[in-house]
Amino acid sequence: MNKKKILITGVAGFIGFSLANKLLNNDYTIYGLDNINNYYDVKLKKKRISFLKEKFKNNFKFKLLDISDTKKINNFFSKHSFEKVFHFAAQAGVRYSLYHPEKYLNSNLVGFSNIIFNCKKKKIKHLIYASSSSVYGANKKIPYKEKHEVSLPMQYYAATKISNELIAQSYSSLYKLKCTGLRFFTVYGPWGRPDMSIYKFVDSIIKNKPIEVYNNGNHSRDFTYIDDTIKLTLGVANSNIYFDKNRYHRILNIGHGKPTPLKKFIKIIEIKTKKKFKIILKPKQKGDMIRTYACTNKLNKIIKLKNKTSLDTGISKFINWYKEYIFEKIY
């Protein structure tokens, strides 16, 4: 295979890092951008980058760069060309957006505009960007289908992701720039974010700390293991299904298509760790969606996983990784 140049923004993030690792193992040359902000543990982000640098010395090129810095982003693109761009850099966190909207404005709107502008200018063959299942907001139709209404976001974070989809639609129409928006559902697994439920729960049960559970644990989520997420992402990125001479933008759900109650998720962690949680019950929070899961009919026409990772297996793998990571941090 010829070494093809791919750009991944947000390469120090959970999904960006995992995608880079997969592509580098397949002999691609990866350029990675990230500003390594302090939204969560900077040490974890730096550890991800160090892992890629050490394992793939020649094929991984990292640059510390904020995508909202228009001048520096324009300068970076002026020096490089890429076959594809995976734009996964964003200010993450649904609840965090309630208190820090300015961070989402800079990264998710200004930053996205900078990336797509340069993709158009450099005539990139395909821009694949991260949207979110949160765009479905107050939509009460379950499972969520790509054709469902997304004009009722319940958080500022979701509103910025809807804006990304609209910007991509306009660019694809005006300039015939191929764009694919991926509405990721609840991704989990090794190297995951500390603000995500599985990390919080495993960290708490191992350290004998209580956990806060909202709405009596009656939330349900479409938990999708990271390796499955990457397989689906690459399957979509390498396919032209749903593109034609009049359509250059497509939206796809990335999930397993099966909701799991948080109570069951918690129970599996207890079984795997052979410990019991200390639970503090909290009321439902503003902006929380009770039940979310993907309709994957559209996705399945492109790629259908033969062997999806079960929750039992995925949670076990995360716990094993967590113990190794924490051991390294402490010792």
Annotated catalytic sites, by residue? 157
186: left (phi over 0), alpha (psi -120 to 50) or beta: beta
Give the integer Cα–Cα distance in Å for 171 and 179. Answer: 9
Residue 32 and residue 63 in contact, taking contact as beta carbons nearer than 8 Å: yes
Residue closest to 214 by CA, chosen among 201, 202, 223, 203: 201
CB atoms within 10 A of CB 146: 18
β-bridge mates for residue 313, sequence order: none
- Ordered DSSP codes for 217-279: G--EE--EEHHHHHHHHHHHHT--TT-BTTB-EEEEEES-S--EEHHHHHHHHHHHHT----E
How far from the centroid of its chain's Cα atoms is residue 3's Cα? 25
β-bridge mates for residue 6, sequence order: 30, 84
Residue 31 and residue 1 in contact, taking contact as beta carbons nearer than 8 Å: no
Angle between helices 70-79 and 112-121 (to 10 degrees): 30
